Every structure is written in structure tokens, then in C-alpha cells.
Structure 1
Amino acid sequence: MMDKVTRRKTGDQMLVRRLNTAIILDCLRLNAPLSRADISSRTGLNRSTVSSIVNELVQGGLVRETEFQKDRLGRPGLSLELSPDGACAIGVQMGVDFISVMLADFVAKPIWSKRIVADSNVEQSLFIKSMGDLIQEALKQARRKHSKPLGIGVGVPGLVDLQHGKIALAPNLQWHDVPLRDMLVKRFDVPVFVENDANASALGEYYFGIARQVNDFIFLTADVGVGAGIILGGKLFRGNRGYAGEVGHMSFDPNGELCGCGRRGCWESIVSPRSVIRKIQSTLCQNYTPSLIRDLVQNQIDKITFETILQAADANDRFALETLQDVGRWLGIGIANLVNAFNPELVVLGGALARASTIVTPIIESTVEQNALRQPHESLKIGISAYGSEGCVVGAAAIVLDEILRYPFP
């Protein structure tokens, strides 16, 4: 029988091997293609450890060997990189009126995706069944490609109880205390990770998008609401109980418009697409403001969408342009506050902000420059999400890959 000392020693060795495996996978994610010698040099792990772990990863299909190359000493060696076909992950984005599901390979490249219209105001069980049916389609695609599904990641527009995988509060969905993880695990029997949508998007950019190798950045999204995924020191900042990043509920005007959270004057009540649409609808209903927007919806004001507004702005419609420019100024003021508070190297604009970037980004940049302190602003860059409106669903898949990269073996 194994004694306590032996069990502890064996456990410690297994933990060290898992950590070393995670280091090697992350090194390949950032720097591939690399030889075994390159990995040893970059990570500080000895060559025998690298060789042993790499061989195991190659056999498991997570890493592949490519063409020969010479290492730094001039000796031939096989190049190594993450194997896109080694495994797959399923990403899910929940919206107020849609569900989007994506099957992604091991480097987060989309293999298959589908988006459906779904009303979150229906009974929760029906909405979640529709989500599950889409996930089932993704799993069928994975089986056809003989790719092992590592898990399911779900991006949710609201507060998430990470410990229990619950939607704690999603004001725009009018959901609270929904045990989403348990419901999906019961149906699919694979690991499920539920995460705030902005956090998911931030991880997607950090692992596979424009924020690779950027250790301090903020991903800002405006879709259902406004939220931020904050990466500090290369790690997702969650706060005390995991609810950090709800920047859309920073108060800008205590007497302002009522927000879905029940409070007034929140940032998202000024700059979110839904708020912009309501403002434009109200203006067009109250007076005859000349605008191409009317023509695009054939004077059916209730049919206005954010894409309608962007289309009018692209055609130089004055009303649409002025509205979006005003949004850009309010976004800039809020971002300046975030820059002063967190001193990020990069702010990434995603969701609807990415779609409106050509109009709002110059105004955001000038407003941030005017309102942020000089020192934290000096090295700041503002970029656009590599994935545009797909940022959350790609990020949801990245949550699964993040878990595997950090904890490769059970």
C-alpha cells in the first residue's frame, strides 16, 4: 500500500508535469513554430522534460510536427505547433433576441457556426432548449470531422456565479439565478464553462486575437449592454466575487434615463445600441427630423436597427452621423475613466463598437486624450476586435481552450 509520503511525492510530480505542460502549450500558442530546443530555451525547462511532454502531446494530437528546421545551434529538428485538428471547442453567445453557436478548432479557428433568432422573453426552459439543439448540431459536426470536443463555453450578458455556473443576474434578459451549467451538463455530459460575455471576448482576443502578448488591456463591448473584460498582468481580473467589469453600470447622470438594472444614468443607457435606437426612434416620432433612416425602414420607425443607423451614417446622413458622434464622445469619457483607473496598454472595441469603428474611433481617441491623465494615456492604443461581432462566441470557445491550456490533463 502506498504511504502518505509516497502519495504526496507522486501528487507533487503530477502537478509539476501539468504545470510544465501548460507552459509548453502556452509557449507554442505565442511563438510557434518552434523546435524542441527552442521551447527549452524559451521556457527554461530542460530538454529531456520538454521532449517527454512534447512526445505525449504529439501522441495525444494536441501538438503536431511540421517541416524540419535548424535550431539555434545549427542542428536539424522538427518544428512544432498546436494542432488545429487535435481537438475542438464549442462557443455559445446568448443575446436578448438571438443565440449564436460556433465550433472552433484547437487554435480557435471557426469550423462551423450558426445563429438563430430566439426571444429571451419566452419561458427559460424553451430558450435553453433552443440553445441545446444548436449545441447538438455543433457536436454532430465535430463527430463528422472526427474531432474530440473538449467542452462548451457560454458567454452571457450579465453577472455570472462562476463557482456554480449560474447566471446570477442578466438585467437585459430579465434572468436571475439560472443554473445554466448544470442544465447543459445534464444534457451533454461534457465540461461546461459559463462566463460573462465581455470576459469571454477578452480571453478570445488575449489568446488568439489582437491582444496576444498584451498583458494589460481592456476589452469593451456594447451589444445587449456595455461591459468590459479586464486583463491585468496576463490574467482576467474578476474582482472579489467574480463580478468585475460591469462598467456599463457606472453612473454618469443620477437623473438620467432608467437603465435595465433599475438605476438611472448608467453608461449603457447612453451608449448601448438599444439606447441609441430608442433615442433615434423617439426623435423621429416626435418631430419630422429629415433622415435617410426613415426611407430605409419605409417610415416604419419600430423597424429601425443598429445596422439601419450605420447604413444611413455610411451614406452621410447627418442625423445618423451626429447621433453616433455623440455616442463616440460619451464612450471616450467612459474610456478615459477606465484608462485613469487601470492604465491599460490597449483598449479593444468589440461588438457594435467594432461595427461602428470608422465613425466612433476618431472621436473616442480625441475625447480620451482630452479627459485622461497624460501619463496613463501616453502609451495607450485603441484597437478593433479581430473578430468583430463574432468576438463573444469565439471568446466562449476560447474559455474552453484556456482551461485546457492551463490544465492540460485531469
Structure 2
Amino acid sequence: MYIGIDIGGTAIKAGLVNENGEILYKKEIRTRAEREYKDIERDIIELIKDLIKRSNEYGKNVKSIGLGIPGIGDVTGDFVVYCTNLGWRNVPLGKNLKSQFNLPIYIENDATVAGLAENVKGATKGSNSSIFITLGTGVGGGIIIDGKVYSGAHGTGSEIGHMIVGENFYDCNCGNNGCLETFASATAIIKYTTKIIKHGNNDTLILEKTGGDLNKITAKLVFDCAKEGDKVANESIDRMVKYLSIGIANLLNTLDPEIVAIGGGVSKAGDFLLEKVRKQVGSYLLYKDIKYADIVLATLGNDAGLVGAAMLGKYK
């Protein structure tokens, strides 16, 4: 049995997960991210104590504790190197948990653990190599190679959202220009749609549905209008699809995985998005006549972080 902790800016989800990636028990508390690190660490320790008590009721020992974080951990599992939305830098979370519980501790990026979860019991299950791309406020990724999580020699690998794919009209939060995140995220869709409307493209359902208030534009709204045939919305979505397809093709040319799963809030556009991406990716590949990775939608949703964090103990 394994413990998984999914640490987010809004909530901390914790659970007991069996060998097959099935959640046996889970609990959720508010993060209250404005607090000091030590206060949040104390909450995590209490959650783990509760989970260990529950595992004893099942008559099972906990083999390890895995944590998914919106940031990166060091390769030893001792420190969270940074976690921007919690204001953490080089905090000894793993080190302190090892001391407290005398169990193996694993810390990985939240998108990486979600990718592992999809590989264990989701859309990429059964594959030996897979890539998970999450499209939300930003773009994240998880890479599985030979059935194991890949995060690089220094723990900073699989930052798919910061692959440079072109020149953009605004810089990424990381300071670079041209990151995939600035083309393919929900934020990117909103920014580009707002830009082209401000430049005179006023004949659009988007203005009608927002009452002319550009601050009310959402990625979902743009997709909905694109499905209705709106020209402005389709221009924005087609641009997003182009650069997402370039990013995926770069990954396929480099790693040649068996399957790619797309998750996150933007993926709720479903087959409308998926079919557009499938049609474009092939045109950017080096070997166009050889079978390449299937591209599918992720299936696990909100439980992916918890399951994947727990499974680090088995597949790291």
C-alpha cells in the first residue's frame, strides 16, 4: 500500500492507494497557501498519520510516501526546490518527512505524477513509453520511459510547457519568449483572442456572449464559439492547435513514445480539439510514413495527482 499526497494551491489531497493504483481511502483539506511553510508541513504530517492509521485497519503496511507538487523537488527527495504558488524555495519537506516516518519519500512535479497515473490506470495504461500533456492555466507534462518516471539528471526534465516553439507577442512567466505554454494554454487562448478582437475583429459571437466585456473571455467560451463556426474563435483555436502540434511533433521526433495523452481543463474541448491536433501533428514529423504515437484524451481527471504521487514508490 502506498500514500499519495497531491499538494495544490487550493487543496491538499491525500490517499491510500493499492498496487493497482486504486484509491482505498482519501481525504482532502484546504491548503490555505498564505500560511507559513511550517504550518502547511504540519498539516501534511497529520494527514499522513491519519493515513497510516487507516492502513493498519486494512492490515497493510505503507511502503512509501509520494508527493506531487506544482514545482520541482531535488533528486534526493529531501527538498522542494521551488513551488511558486506556495512561495516555497528549498524547503526540507522530504527530509523532515523521512525523519518523522522512516519511509521512502518521493517528490515530483504534479504533471509528472499525473502522467504516471495515466500510465498505471488511465489513458496510457499498458504502454511502455508515454507522454502526458496537461493544458490548463499553463502547460505541464509527464514522461514515462521503460515504465518509469523520467524527470532528468537534475530533476528538472519533462518541462514540456517551456519548450520553445516559436516567437510570440508576449513573454512567458519564466522570462523566455516562445514557450509552448504561451501558445497552447487556456491563458494563451484568452490573450490571443483578446488581442485580435482589440485589433478590429468585432464580428464575433464572443463579443455577443460576453456583452462586450473582454475580461469575460474564457478558453471554454472560445472553443464553444469555434464549434458554432465563429471566425475569430476558429482563428484563435487554429493557432493554438498549430503550436501544440509542433510541440507534440518535437516530442515524437525526440522520444518516439507509444502514446500521448492530453489532459487539463482545455482538453475538455474533447474530440473537437483532438481531431484537429491529430490531423496536424503528422505534417511536422520527420518520418511521415512510419506509425507514430496515438494521441488520446486523458481519463483520470482530479484523481490523477493523488494516484500518481502514490505510485512513485513503485515506478520511480
TM-score class, shorter-chain normalisation, is 0.7 to 0.9
CA distance in 2, matches of 1:90, 1:214: 24
Q: How many residue pairs get matched?
A: 312
CA distance in 1, matches of 2:125, 2:28: 27
The answer to whether structure 1 residue 166 and structure 2 residue 79 are counterparts is yes
With the length of structure 2 as denominator, give the TM-score of the two structures: 0.79
Structure 1, unaligned runs of 5 or more: 1-87, 404-410
What is residue 178 of structure 2 aligned with on the other side? 265
User: How far apart are residue 366 of structure 1 and its match?
Assistant: 1.1
What is residue 380 of structure 1 aligned with on the other side? 293
Structure 2, unaligned runs of 5 or more: none
What is residue 163 of structure 2 aligned with on the other side? 250
Contact kept, 8 Å, 1:165 with 1:180, in 2: the verdict is yes
- Structure 1 vs Structure 2 CA RMSD: 3.6
For CA contacts below 8 A with separation 6 or more, give which structure has more relative contact order: 2
Contact kept, 8 Å, 2:223 with 2:269, in 1: the verdict is no
Q: Which amino acid aligns with 2:210?
A: R
CA distance in 1, matches of 2:99, 2:32: 23
With the length of structure 1 as denominator, give the TM-score of the two structures: 0.63
Equivalent positions of 1:211-360 (< 5 A) are 211-223=124-136, 225-254=138-167, 256-277=169-190, 290-291=205-206, 294=210, 301=215, 309=221, 312=224, 316=228, 318=230, 323-360=236-273
CA distance in 1, matches of 2:184, 2:261: 16
CA change 1:145–1:195 in 2 (3 A) is same
Q: Deviations for 1:119-152, whole angstroms, at most 9, x for unmatched residues?
A: 5454333444444454455445434444433222
Q: Deviations for 1:37-71, whole angstroms, at most 9, x for unmatched residues?
A: xxxxxxxxxxxxxxxxxxxxxxxxxxxxxxxxxxx
CA change 1:101–1:355 in 2 (3 A) is farther
Contact kept, 8 Å, 2:223 with 2:237, in 1: the verdict is no
User: How far apart are residue 402 of structure 1 and its match?
Assistant: 3.0
The answer to whether structure 1 residue 95 and structure 2 residue 26 are counterparts is no
Q: 1:397 aligned to 282, 307, 310, which one?
A: 310
Structure number with larger C-alpha Rg: 1
Helix, strand or coil at the partner of 1:337:
helix
What is residue 181 of structure 1 aligned with on the other side? 94
Contact kept, 8 Å, 1:310 with 1:356, in 2: the verdict is no
Q: Which amino acid aligns with 1:365?
A: R
Comparing 159-168 and 312-321, the one that deviates more: 312-321
Helix, strand or coil at the partner of 2:133:
strand
CA change 1:342–1:183 in 2 (3 A) is same
CA change 1:255–1:159 in 2 (3 A) is same
CA distance in 2, matches of 1:284, 1:394: 41
User: How far apart are residue 173 of structure 1 and its match?
Assistant: 5.0
User: How far apart are residue 232 of structure 1 and its match?
Assistant: 2.9
Helix, strand or coil at the partner of 1:374:
coil
CA change 1:140–1:339 in 2 (3 A) is same
User: How far apart are residue 195 of structure 1 and its match?
Assistant: 1.2
Q: Percent identity?
A: 28
Q: Which amino acid aligns with 1:347?
A: V
Helix, strand or coil at the partner of 1:211:
coil
Q: Which amino acid aligns with 1:227?
A: G
CA distance in 2, matches of 1:178, 1:376: 49
Comparing 281-290 and 350-359, the one that deviates more: 281-290
Helix, strand or coil at the partner of 1:149:
coil
CA distance in 2, matches of 1:281, 1:244: 32
CA change 1:147–1:277 in 2 (3 A) is farther
